[in-house]
């Protein structure tokens, strides 16, 4: 086994947001590698059935804003913290900006404080390349690109988290790492009004509905398989060269939204096609493509999953878990301006 994987055997690792799309996959992998994993999650967007039910995973239900919960989980003396809990994502933050600031801002600050106080050896912050680079940027995106033109509270608070990490690194010597994820997809992400396009497309396709494209369909995203992100996180928690650094974790490949929609329809056997709906006001990004050269250099990151293969695995996960997914998918009427049309279709 590679050294960075062996490293986790017997380690006590705290994963915030471990019931979520990426955190649940990370938790499963860490448990397989023999770590003692503590998951803290308030289940606001994660699912309890997503957390692996094995003896080396301890689940503590609660918020990272709750000091009683923080004392409980830091009492376990984690050596490594993967801080993935977040108020997710753009549209949610537009609808609920104060909760976004509390969880992504204050929650991250508290996690950093408790990590310093208890002598955590490595703190990995889940940053977002989709958020912190804003909407108008040179491609492929490199880590030294900085913008003040952030268009949602989520974009602002994901950047804020990085800035707090920098403060704790420089002032207290906390060994922080700041991987910037791009458009994760894969098993573990339940569709919903505030979720990403891939789980939502699969969900609508499996219901035989046309897939709503918010734009022209020519827009691109750098979709990254969750297993590749988890591998990047494991590396980020291990390699010394990552300390203090921000680096993209992406696939380094662009996919057009129309191609994605056609592929999902083909793989699910959906004949309903696509339909075009208006673009969301904050959604100004036409293309997204990340450079992954820095992550390759710092931590040997090498994404492996082919896009269509990753989609097939995700669709299979939907088929295997359809009842649970249907019961958990949240598309509440009226809550989000962006999905009102979809709710109307569903009804």
Ligand X SMILES: NC(=O)c1ccc[n+]([C@@H]2O[C@H](COP(=O)([O-])OP(=O)(O)OC[C@H]3O[C@@H](n4cnc5c(N)ncnc54)[C@H](O)[C@@H]3O)[C@@H](O)[C@H]2O)c1
Nearer to ligand X, 4 or 49 (CB): 49
User: What's the closest the beta carbon of residue 249 comes to ligand X, in angstroms?
Assistant: 9
The interface region with ligand X, picked from 31-39, 180-188, 257-265, 300-308 by CB under 6 A, is 180-188
Positions 79 through 98 that interact with ligand X (CB under 6 A): 84-88
Of the candidate residues 64, 94, 260, 325, the single one contacting ligand X (CB under 6 A): 64
Nearer to ligand X, 65 or 243 (CB): 65
> Could you tell me which residues come within 8 angstroms of residue 64 by beta carbon, excluding any fewer than 6 positions away?
16, 40, 42, 70, 85, 103, 107, 110, 111
Nearer to ligand X, 79 or 183 (CB): 183
The interface region with ligand X, picked from 41-49, 137-145, 214-222, 288-296 by CB under 6 A, is 41-49
Positions 119 through 178 that interact with ligand X (CB under 6 A): 126, 128, 130, 158
Please give the structure tokens belonging to residue 211.
């897939």
Asked whether position 19 contacts ligand X by CB under 6 A, the answer is: yes
Nearer to ligand X, 43 or 345 (CB): 43
The interface region with ligand X, picked from 35-43, 52-60, 142-150, 287-295 by CB under 6 A, is 35-43
Nearer to ligand X, 58 or 65 (CB): 65
Nearer to ligand X, 43 or 277 (CB): 43
Binding mask 194-213 for ligand X (x = CB under 6 A): --x-----------------
Q: What is the distance between the alpha carbons of residues 347 and 336, in angstroms, rounded to a whole number?
A: 16
User: What's the closest the beta carbon of residue 270 comes to ligand X, in angstroms?
Assistant: 23
Nearer to ligand X, 48 or 272 (CB): 48
Please give the structure tokens belonging to residue 267.
């793989």
Nearer to ligand X, 42 or 228 (CB): 42
User: What's the closest the beta carbon of residue 299 comes to ligand X, in angstroms?
Assistant: 17
User: What's the closest the beta carbon of residue 154 comes to ligand X, in angstroms?
Assistant: 8
Q: What is the distance between the alpha carbons of residues 218 and 44, in angstroms, rounded to a whole number?
A: 33
Asked whether position 65 contacts ligand X by CB under 6 A, the answer is: yes
Nearer to ligand X, 188 or 212 (CB): 188
Of the candidate residues 17, 78, 186, 310, the single one contacting ligand X (CB under 6 A): 17
User: What's the closest the beta carbon of residue 69 comes to ligand X, in angstroms?
Assistant: 8
What is the 3 state secondary structure string of the chain?
Answer: CCHHHHCCCCCEEEEECCCCHHHHHHHHHHHHCCCEEEEEECCCCCCHHHCCCCCCEEEEECCCCCHHHHHHHHCCCCCEEEECCCCCCHHHHHHCHHHHHHHHHHHHHHHHHHHHHCCCCEEEECEEHHHHCCCCCCCCECCCCCCCCCCCHHHHHHHHHHHHHHHHHHHHCCCEEEEEECCEECCCCCCECCCCHHHHHHHHHHCCCCEEEECCCCCEECCEEHHHHHHHHHHHCCCHHHCCCEEEECCCCCEEHHHHHHHHHHHHCCCCCEEEECCCCCCCCCCCCECCHHHHHHHCCCCCCCHHHHHHHHHHHHHHCHHHHHHHCECCCCCCHHHHHHHHHHC
Q: How many residues line the site for ligand X (CB under 6 A)?
A: 32
Say if CB 261 and CB 195 are below 8 A apart: no
Of the candidate residues 13, 21, 274, 289, the single one contacting ligand X (CB under 6 A): 21
Residues that bind ligand X (CB under 6 A): 16-17, 19-23, 40-46, 63-65, 84-88, 103, 107, 126, 128, 130, 158, 181, 183-184, 196
């Amino acid at each position: 086994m590679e050294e960075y994987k062996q490293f986790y055997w017997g380690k006590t690792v705290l994963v915030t947001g471990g019931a979520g799309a990426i955190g649940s996959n990370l938790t499963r992998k860490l448990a397989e590698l023999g770590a003692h994993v503590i998951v803290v999650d308030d289940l606001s967007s994660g699912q309890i059935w997503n957390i692996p039910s094995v003896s080396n995973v301890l689940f503590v239900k609660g918020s990272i804003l709750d000091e009683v919960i923080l004392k409980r989980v830091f009492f376990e003396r984690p050596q490594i913290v993967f801080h993935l809990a977040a108020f997710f994502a753009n549209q949610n933050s537009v609808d609920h900006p104060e909760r976004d600031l509390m969880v992504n801002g204050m929650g991250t600050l508290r996690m950093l404080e408790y990590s310093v106080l208890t002598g955590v050896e490595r703190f990995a912050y889940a940053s977002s390349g989709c958020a912190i680079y804003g909407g108008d940027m040179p491609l492929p995106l490199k880590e030294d690109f900085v913008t003040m033109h952030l268009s949602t509270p989520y974009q602002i608070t994901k950047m804020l988290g990085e800035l707090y990490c920098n403060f704790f690194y420089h002032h207290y010597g906390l060994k922080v790492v700041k991987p910037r994820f791009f458009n994760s997809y894969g098993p573990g992400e339940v569709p919903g009004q505030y979720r990403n396009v891939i789980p939502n497309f699969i969900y609508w396709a499996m219901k035989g509905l046309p897939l709503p494209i918010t734009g022209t369909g020519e827009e691109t995203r750098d979709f990254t398989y969750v297993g590749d992100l988890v591998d990047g996180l494991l590396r980020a928690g291990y390699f010394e060269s990552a300390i203090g650094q921000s680096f993209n974790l992406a696939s380094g490949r662009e996919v057009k939204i129309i191609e994605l929609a056609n592929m999902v329809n083909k793989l699910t056997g959906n004949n309903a096609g696509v339909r075009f709906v208006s673009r969301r006001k904050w959604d100004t990004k036409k293309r997204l493509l990340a450079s992954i050269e820095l992550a390759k250099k710092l931590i040997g990151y090498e994404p492996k999953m082919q896009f269509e293969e990753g989609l097939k695995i995700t669709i299979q996960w939907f088929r295997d878990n359809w009842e649970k997914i249907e019961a958990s998918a949240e598309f509440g009427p009226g809550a989000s301006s962006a999905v009102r049309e979809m709710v109307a279709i569903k009804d």
